[in-house]
């Protein structure tokens, strides 16, 4: 198991893996249609997208958290 202190990086890894896979697959199909060799083309696009997505998510996560805190109303505890 991976130690808890690495959880932000593990989260970023899986988030970027899944999002880059889904987005590269959708965009590949939208741009090319269902062509021969689609799987190979998608996997190439996915590899390139993941290389960009993972460090991007690691770097922008603090900014996104700050933006969420700025726009989400905190819960008020009622006694």
How confident is the model over 43-62, as pLDDT tens digits?
999 999 999 999 999 999 99
Q: Is the model's pTM score more than 0.75?
A: yes
pLDDT at 79 over 90: no
Residues 40 and 66: their CA atoms lie apart, in Å, by 38
Residues 57 and 28: their CA atoms lie apart, in Å, by 22
pLDDT interval class at 64 (50, 70, 90): very high
Residues 41 and 23: their CA atoms lie apart, in Å, by 13
18, 42, 17: which is closest to 28 by C-alpha?
Answer: 42
List the domain boundaries for the chain: 4-71
């Amino acid at each position: 198991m991976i130690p808890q202190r690495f959880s932000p990086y593990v989260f970023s890894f899986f988030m970027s893996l899944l999002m880059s896979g889904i987005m590269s697959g959708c965009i590949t199909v939208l741009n090319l249609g269902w062509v021969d060799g689609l799987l190979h083309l998608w996997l190439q696009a996915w590899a390139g997208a993941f290389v960009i997505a993972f460090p991007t998510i690691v770097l922008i996560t603090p900014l996104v958290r700050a933006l969420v805190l700025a726009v989400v109303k905190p819960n008020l505890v009622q006694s």
